[in-house]
Amino acid sequence: MSQLSTSVQPTIKQLLATDALSEAQILCGQGNLDRPVSQVISATGHAPRQGSLLVIQSDAISTPEVALLSRLSGLILVKTSPDFGMAITAGASNDGLSGMSSPIVGASPLSEASLKRLIKHCNDAGVPLLLVPSYGEPGQVIEDVRYVFLRELKLASARLYSVMLSIALEEGLDGLVEAVSGWLNRPLVVETADFKVLASRNMGATPASQQRLLSEESLKSLREYKKNLQALTPKVGPQLDGQADLHISPVRLGRRLVFPIPLSELIAGYVSVMIRPQDDVSQFSEYMQPLALACKVDFSHRLKDSPSFAVTQRSLLKDLLSGRSVSASDQERLERSFGFDLCDGFYVFAVDVGGASQGGENTGVNYPDEEFISCDAEGMRAFVVPYLAKAPETWRKYADDIVARIKELNKGGGKNPAVRLGAGRLVETMLELPDAYGEARQALVIGSMIHGEGEFALAYGELGVKRLLYLVFDHPELERFLDETLSPLAAYDDEWESELVDTLRVYLQQGANLNSTARALFIHRHTLRYRLEQIADILKVDIDSQEVLLNLQIAFLIKDMKEGGKKK
């Protein structure tokens, strides 16, 4: 399970600087006070979160807590009798392992021998052991320590949302709710707008008797939120939109404090926390607002599967890829709905399946829209795949996955669809998506010219000189160049039933190497040499010249593109 990063987590040393722990005595582990604290707990349970700080009464420490010391960042004993601390102070040495000359007095069942063993276990595990006075109410000490822990978190509130978002992305809503519920020591629940529970911790869905009231109050909060946005200037509004989400008003229903989650001008769901009468609502809002915002990312991915939402977003994506003007607010909607703001770059693919492109649209083909971001664009299907630097993949891996899924979705009825794919180069920003799609589309067209209706997957960055030939493909000089290079050989083969054109092609493919070409053609090296002399004589060229070989290679590329285009 993901933890708070050390740059956000308070350390035991920071907590010791607060009033709640100002009188704490360090029994052992002085050198480990910089360990970060992920949460404050009063019981370990089956498996406490790594880095938890256990605050427990001195007469309640038991074998399970000792067995799980290695998972803790620290252990704080709340002394339950006035004399308990005196016995420890009088007997504890620097290392906490010797010098316990006087017995522990008082009602605590933690004997001198037990305390020695506990100190030794803490030293072995590298876990600091502290003692704090209770002043008659041990439970209040635990709440005080939890409060200062949350206060230290709040000092890094700008990073708190990032931490929650990281947990949501790695562990989903269940992991996020579990983590925040542990921080606040309160039950939590996340539910959809129709009150379906998505994740919960000791808390159920909104009762049916309160659902209508919550819906009405949430709509009022949404209208007020939109009204505030409209009051902003056009230049400031888009910049503050995300921040304004943090201030949509919560709704209080009895002991329930509910935070609506706005998304695409509607209420997508709710995050609720159970509060006590004496709780400070504003204090809880400091943590619940970024929680609701982190949940918004998960909701955006869920809602993109709904028909109306998906159509709107794909229409915007189509406009962006086609180079049409897209407003800043629409760009932000695309970023949030598809998670574009969380990636390091993009691959764009243009795909055509069989003869599916008719009348400017791909018809009769099923596409993996649940797994990939895609839309129709200029009679083809465009796929946008976010790229993550921490888990880099080549364009080929993504292309193979897309092709495999399309084939799987369209293989019914004895069909075996031919999938043709062109890939653009990796780009870093959304503003470069139109250029990347243009490259992918050009790679698809060039591939179709070479391979006809056959399958292929070509990347624009690997097309080489083919990209230049495509730009002058309809120029009459290209046809003239082809006639002057390969046409005489083709005419000779037709007249004498020879194989000079095929021989020359293989010779060029083998890098003009006599031995490898002879093996590929299953002929003797002298036979190959004789054929090359015939080719040189017919074309009136020096077959060993690098310039001549380059011209012949280009001629074959033109020939393949011309013949592939006719096959289509």
Span 161-189, pLDDT tens digits: 888 888 888 888 999 999 999 888 899 99
Per-residue pLDDT at 294: 87
Per-residue pLDDT at 101: 31
The model's confidence at residue 303, banded by pLDDT at 50, 70 and 90, is low
Q: What percent of the chain has pLDDT over 90?
A: 22
Say which amino acid occupies 553: Q
- The string of pLDDT tens digits covering residues 205-214 is 999 999 989 9
- In 280-436 the beta strands, taken as DSSP E runs, fall at 345-353, 357-358, 361-362, 373-377, 380-387, 419-423
**Cα(507)–Cα(519) distance, rounded to whole angstroms?**
11
pLDDT at 203 over 90: yes
Token pair, residue 150, equals: 């949350």
* Closest by CA position to 446, among listed 461, 426, 434: 461
CATH architecture of 472-567: Orthogonal Bundle (1.10)
Q: What percent of the chain has pLDDT over 70?
A: 82
Per-residue pLDDT at 161: 80
Token pair, residue 172, equals: 């989903």
Looking at the chain, which residues constitute the CATH 3.30.450 domain(s)?
157-302
**Cα(69)–Cα(335) distance, rounded to whole angstroms?**
43
Looking at the chain, which residues constitute the CATH 1.10.10.2840 domain(s)?
472-567
Average pLDDT, the chain: 79
Token pair, residue 420, equals: 């043709």
The model's confidence at residue 117, banded by pLDDT at 50, 70 and 90, is confident
N-terminal to C-terminal alpha carbon distance within the chain:
54
Query: In this structure, what DSSP letter does residue 427 have?
Result: B
Residue linked to tokens 């589309």? 441
Give the strands of the sheet with 373-377, arranged side by side.
373-377, 380-387, 345-353, 419-423, 456-459
Per-residue pLDDT at 270: 93
Taking a C-beta distance cutoff of 8 angstroms, is the pair 267, 259 a contact?
A: no
* Closest by CA position to 43, among listed 26, 55, 59: 55
Give the mean pLDDT of 321-335: 79
- The string of pLDDT tens digits covering residues 251-290 is 999 999 999 988 766 788 899 999 988 887 777 777 888 8
Per-residue pLDDT at 421: 94
Looking at the chain, which residues constitute the CATH 3.40.1390 domain(s)?
12-148
Per-residue pLDDT at 235: 46
Per-residue pLDDT at 360: 40
Per-residue pLDDT at 231: 62
Per-residue pLDDT at 201: 93
Taking a C-beta distance cutoff of 8 angstroms, is the pair 221, 252 a contact?
A: no
- The string of pLDDT tens digits covering residues 471-508 is 677 778 878 888 888 888 889 989 888 999 999 999 99
CATH architecture of 157-302: 2-Layer Sandwich (3.30)
- The string of pLDDT tens digits covering residues 4-61 is 444 457 888 888 888 888 888 899 988 889 888 888 888 877 677 788 889 888 777 7
* Closest by CA position to 350, among listed 459, 467, 472, 470: 459
Per-residue pLDDT at 92: 41
Give the mean pLDDT of 507-513: 90
Confirm whether pTM is higher than 0.85.
Answer: no
* Closest by CA position to 271, among listed 185, 344, 187: 187
pLDDT at 563 over 70: yes
Task: Write down the CATH number for the domain with range 307-465.
Answer: 3.30.70
Say which amino acid occupies 517: T
pLDDT at 137 over 80: no
CATH class of the domain defined by 12-148 = alpha beta
- The string of pLDDT tens digits covering residues 389-440 is 887 888 999 999 999 999 888 877 666 788 999 999 999 998 899 999 999 9
**C-beta contacts of 319-322 below 8 A and 24+ residues apart:** 320/430, 320/433, 320/434, 321/348, 321/375, 321/377, 321/382, 321/384, 321/433, 321/434, 321/437, 322/377, 322/378, 322/434, 322/437
Residue linked to tokens 């206060």? 151
Ramachandran angles phi, psi of 266, nearest 5°: -150, 165
Taking a C-beta distance cutoff of 8 angstroms, is the pair 298, 173 a contact?
A: yes
